[in-house]
Amino acid sequence: MRAITGIFILFAVALSVRAETGHELWLRKHKADPVKIIASGDSATLQIALHELQQGWQGKAGASVVLTVKPDESIRGDGYKLTTSGVQAKTELGILYGVYDLLRRQQTLQPIQEEVSNPSYERRVLNHWDNLDGSVERGYAGHSIFWRSGTDPLAVTEKDKALWREYARANASIGINGTVLNNVNASPQMLSSEYLSRVKAIADVMRPYGIRVYLSVKFSSPSLLGGLKTSDPLDSQVIQWWKNKVKEIYGLIPDFGGFLVKANSEGQPGPQDYGRTHAHGANMMADVLKPHGGIVMWRAFVYSPGDKDRAAQAYAEFMPLDGQFRDNVIIQVKNGPIDFQPREPFSPLFGGMKKTSVMPELQITQEYLGHSIQLVFLAPMWEECLQSDTYQEGPGSTVARATDGRLFQQKYTAIAGVANIGLDANWCGHHFAQANWYAFGRLAWDNGLTGDRIADEWIRLTFSPNPSEQPNALKTGDWLETFLTPVKDMMLQSREAAVNYMMPLGLHHIFAGGHHYGPGPWYAPKGMRPDWTPPYYHQADASGIGFDRTRGGSNAESQYHEPLASQFNDPATCPEIYLLWFHHLPWTYKMKSGRTLWDELCCHYEKGVLQVRRFQKIWDKVEPYVDAQRFAEVQSKLRRHYRDAQIWKDACLLYFQQFSRLPIPYDIERPVNDLEDLMKIDLKWSHHN
């Protein structure tokens, strides 16, 4: 009986090795070889570096690794130098980043040679849109890891601390060094003493990993929380209230990062409520934070109802203020001028503001790209934005160079990503959504990395066979050819596939209302402001389709530098990926392929659906190389992904066909749904679907 029990235990252990929930992310445990570490100092951060080396060393058994904190002209900030003997950095945090890089290179079989790695941006920050009741706006992976409702929502448990520690470790491993703990649509209670005590507990856990905490704040907090009669940024009592609050925060959290502010946007209060400008509001906060080393990240996501083109409003509102902001204010700008669409041209503010620090805001959570249902790898989209040429200072003035301090002197440089993290076991709701968290961190550290490089790393770290079980799998090339290559190809095509079956050729914002998951090109409830409805953006009618932003239309193209403005203005030179963003064109307009615009739209929708069908085939074929749990969960997501891509195609083609009155090309598969039925479907995301 005892022998049988022993066999059962061994069998259970064997199964547990193969079954994975995804909770370990790209930091999966492998059997480590012994290593000798030589380091001076004994800080909490250095202890983490030593522990990571001991638990993850994949190099020569018994090798010596030297960790040296020493100045070097080639190393900036928390950068580091990999050497033949170990890691050198100016700071202990730089040592930790270097250790993670060293281990990453070992695990992905990349060469380890003498090399300096400096961060592209000083502040690399996740924005959590987490509410104090534990819900997450645009969150698709369960409730908040920071906040919860219930009988004692502010109690800090050991379980909380353990989870925050895992989160901090994951961020540090990819170079993220800041986190905004709450929603940009902030509650004034965030700044109450009760909630600040929990912020302190979170900050204490994060600190050894180099993670600073930031808070989103409601501009009207002096009135709503402090009981003042006004929140006017020029009022002396208001200024004093903020000074007192900031002093309280830094008394609890000496390394507090600063504030993120959404003001005068989508109904949120702001300085314009008191006849003041964004500069007045941002500068007031910057002044009270500056003595403590804090910054203000002031969002440029502003637009008002009216006849103005929404895509042009942020530029029109902020450009006159260029040069009026304090040096510890950074204007946080979404990658495109509308709102995290599947494809947009870059925001012209990146090529406009020269005297003000500007930081990109990317959306990791897939609000407009399939939530946690659809497999969409976002690194190619972000690479497309960062490498776009603004022509701000002539050719080569990319968005990356315009925001990381290479073109203009910025006291602070930063980049933000709206997080996709929740309490789901795999953190992100979809195993492949983890790749977008990883990709943001890697691009924030090095904004010149390619999506191909990032996908390759992430796949190797997340899915490579356990060396103790399959010691020769990576060396023989079988796993590389049969798993890594097709899965990487699937990831790199996935964003373009989503654009194809959702909004090709520059179409944008034609989602169903509210949840932004399914198609809704017809969505226009009576009385709703036009710029919250898809017809405002696609402008489909009998004469054609697309939003006219040329000189004869809204003139939004003029916000870009030449030669871009002229290129965008002419449909013959406008890149076809942005064609309907800038132009309203006839259904029979001739495309570069020789097809009409209508036929080209049909072909793109068809191609997108076929791409997702191919993703299913790729994933099914790699089943032998993936643990059963993660394989089944991804397979289930891909089934729904394909069904919903088909719905997108059918809904858009049948709806737009009402205006084009043209047949769907005969070599395109027929729609399998009726438009009347599709218009009744509420194809919204639901958790664990």
Measure the CA angle with vertex 18, ends 12 and 20; round to 5°.
Answer: 110
The contacts of residue 359 (CB under 8 Å, 6+ apart) are 121, 123, 297, 330, 331, 332, 333, 403, 413, 414, 415, 416
| Nearest CA-CA partner of 531 in 214, 313, 264, 282 | 313
SS3 350: helix
Q: How far, in Å, CA of 38 to CA of 53, rounded?
A: 11
Task: Answer yes or no: 114 catalytic.
Answer: no
Kindly report the number of other CB atoms within 10 A of residue 585's CB atom: 21
Residue pair 228/188 in contact by the 8 Å Cβ criterion: no
- Report how far apart, in Å, the C-alpha atoms of 118 and of each of 89, 477, 518 are: 10, 32, 41
Residue pair 228/240 in contact by the 8 Å Cβ criterion: no
Strand partners, 123: 414
Helix (H) or strand (E) holding 39: strand 35-39
Task: Answer yes or no: 20 catalytic.
Answer: no
- Report how far apart, in Å, the C-alpha atoms of 192 and of each of 27, 202, 295, 558, 568 are: 36, 16, 20, 45, 49
| Nearest CA-CA partner of 108 in 454, 598, 551 | 454
Residue pair 380/371 in contact by the 8 Å Cβ criterion: no
Task: Answer yes or no: 235 catalytic.
Answer: no
Residue pair 163/425 in contact by the 8 Å Cβ criterion: no
| Nearest CA-CA partner of 31 in 9, 66, 61, 65 | 61
| Nearest CA-CA partner of 256 in 214, 298, 210 | 214
The contacts of residue 672 (CB under 8 Å, 6+ apart) are 646, 650
Q: How far, in Å, CA of 589 to CA of 572, rounded?
A: 11
| Nearest CA-CA partner of 78 in 198, 172, 190, 144 | 172
- Structure tokens of 123? 């502040």
115, 133, 248, 266: the active-site residue: 266
Q: Cis peptide leading into 663, omega within 30 of 0?
A: no
235, 339, 452, 478: the active-site residue: 339
Residue 459 backbone zone (phi > 0: left; psi -120 to 50: alpha; other: beta)? alpha
576 DSSP 8-state letter = G
Residue pair 46/39 in contact by the 8 Å Cβ criterion: yes
The radius of gyration of the chain from alpha carbons, rounded to an integer in Å, stands at 26
- Report how far apart, in Å, the C-alpha atoms of 423 and of each of 22, 130, 211, 368, 670 are: 12, 12, 20, 21, 41
232, 367, 496, 650: the active-site residue: 367
Angle, helices 236-252/278-289, rounded to nearest 10 degrees: 40
Kindly report the number of other CB atoms within 10 A of residue 182's CB atom: 25
Which residue matches tokens 């480590």? 32
Catalytic residues: 266, 339, 367
